[in-house]
Amino acid sequence: MDIKRTVLWVIFSMSLLLLWDNWMRHNGKASMFFPAASTQQSKNASATTASVASAAGATGIANGSSAALPAAGAAATAIKSERITVTTDVIKADIDTIGGELKRLELLKHKDGSDHTQNVVLFNESAKRTYLAQTGLLGGAFPNHKSGFIAKPGVRTLGDANQVQLVLESEQGGVKLTKTYTFKKGDYTIDVRHDVTNNSGAAVKPSLYLQLLHDGTKPESGGMFSGSGEFYAPAVYTDADKFQKLDFEKIEKGSDSHASKSDNGWVALLQHFFVSAFIPQDKTPREIFTKKVDTNLYAVGNILQVGTIAPGATVTLNARLYSGPQESAKLEQIAPGLELVKDYGVLTILAKPLFWLMTQIHQLLGNWGWTIVVFTIAIKLALFPLSAAGYRSMAKMKVVTPKMQAVRERYKNDPQKMNQAMMELYKTEKINPLGGCFPILIQMPVFLSLYWVLQASVEMRGAPWVGWITDLTSPDPWYILPVIYAISMYITTKLNPAPADPMQAKMMMFMPLAFSVMFFFFPSGLVLYWVVNNVLSIAQQWVINNKLIPQEHKA
């Protein structure tokens, strides 16, 4: 019995160590178990930008497009570069008149994980980071993301309206491309319409590309006590091949593998809590590509077939660009499979229904901290029949500990007779020697799943509980919850029968302290769950000890 319980505690300890290691790797720290990945070569942002156009043309060729995008020098860039800022109630976007590129996107409702005085910025171009959304035409000397566009006059701030539009026009090679960005109230989805008009005297057959560019530089750590845990990764989804998460390092080596053709789906760039995804109109044939564009710069995108356009005719292609938080309910409504960007790890099958239950509780309470408290109570009640049997067995074991000790002393020189006498004692006292394992075993899947829920759920990012807990996805800044956890674990240990082996007994007393130190680095929401669970376990054990154990066992 003592050996089995020790093994379970070791398993529990290793699970916590692996979670802690994962938490540290999420925050850019070195792993205890896995070798550090090689750091990607840094880049000069301005030089990179200048080379993007020709590389994008190469992208078209490499993925089967019949025509390549002209190099930057061939584009009509006489128009002066001007950044036009469009502001709604949730986003602030900067779009350049050169190429109509979306060069900066600020989320007005989400604070930066490292600097809470600043908002989260997704699209951006600087010496440290390149993250852009680009579109244009392939198949001839047509407008692309390096061509000069003219912005039509219009309102740039949402104000009291439900939507605001930015219309950009460029004509090159007898083909006019009109880009219309539509921003809507309370919405992170931007409608991106492309009207392709043939003003030449002959039919043309262009293709439209939509691509997201990102550098491969590893994110800076938000610090040991930060919950930012950044990462960046491209992704592809089609109905046939489902969700495929990719890797910049594999794109660098040319070893990435993903769906290449479809008439549905989307391409995306993922990061912790947020995602940007180009979603072309459904039932439009497309090629899906990933590409090394330049040194430490990569693209993921679609090439859509526009078809043959007769002289004087116009063809319209619609797409959407979602760039915002990974909120499950919203993502499910935007596009099939988009909710899969929210990664619950290997315990998705359990984490998703647990998060659904938590959202139902949150709708009633309006506070994620109290949601975790009520959720813990609900889980405890649901598992009561199983855990009660284990606690009852542990309580009985504590009562008969003197008898067990006497058996060990009597047969200390004859292990075989000792085991036989122990089994007779268990049978007489109606004790299951493995019963005490259940409380630990049945809690571990819930504990691990909740860890992934807190790691993946932007809904809880920055969510407060009470007083000093201002972000349930970040560690407790004052370490109050880990200390309470240590106290509750000490009480729990004292309520349970002590192991006969003095070394095991010392280890059981040391574990609460060790776990509390580890919990300094864990999300406060996870520690809150375990504290509430321990308090409930103490109450449950007290009731079993004083109300449910037959009086003869206490004699």
On whether the CB atoms of residues 370 and 465 are closer than 8 A, the answer is yes
pLDDT of 120 reads: 95
Q: Are 278 and 236 within 8 A, CB to CB? A: no
The model's pLDDT over 146-164, given as tens digits with 9 standing for 90+, comes to 999 999 999 999 989 999 9
Q: How many residues does the chain have?
A: 555
Whether 293 has a pLDDT exceeding 90, the answer reads yes
Q: Tell me: the pLDDT tens digits for 170-210?
A: 999 999 999 999 999 999 999 999 999 999 999 999 999 99
On whether the CB atoms of residues 15 and 443 are closer than 8 A, the answer is no
Looking at residue 139, what is its pLDDT?
93
pLDDT tens digits for 209-231? 999 999 999 876 544 433 445 78
pTM of the model: 0.78
Topology at the third CATH level for domain 45-342: Beta-galactosidase; Chain A, domain 5 (2.70.98)
**91-106 per-position pLDDT tens digit:** 999 999 999 999 999 9
Query: Which residues are CB-neighbours of 142 under 8 A, at least 6 positions away?
Result: 70, 136, 172, 173, 175, 177, 204, 206
- List the domain boundaries for the chain: 2-32+350-553, 45-342
> Which of the pair, 130 or 413, is modelled with greater confidence?
130
What is the pLDDT, as a whole number, of residue 394? 64
Over residues 332-337, mean pLDDT: 95
In contact, 460 and 28? CB cutoff 8 Å: no
AA identity, residue 173: G
Beta bridge partners of 405: none
Closest CA to 234 of 242, 243, 223: 243
φ, ψ at 177 (rounded to 5°) = -110, 125
| pLDDT for residue 49 | 37
- The mean pLDDT of the chain is 81
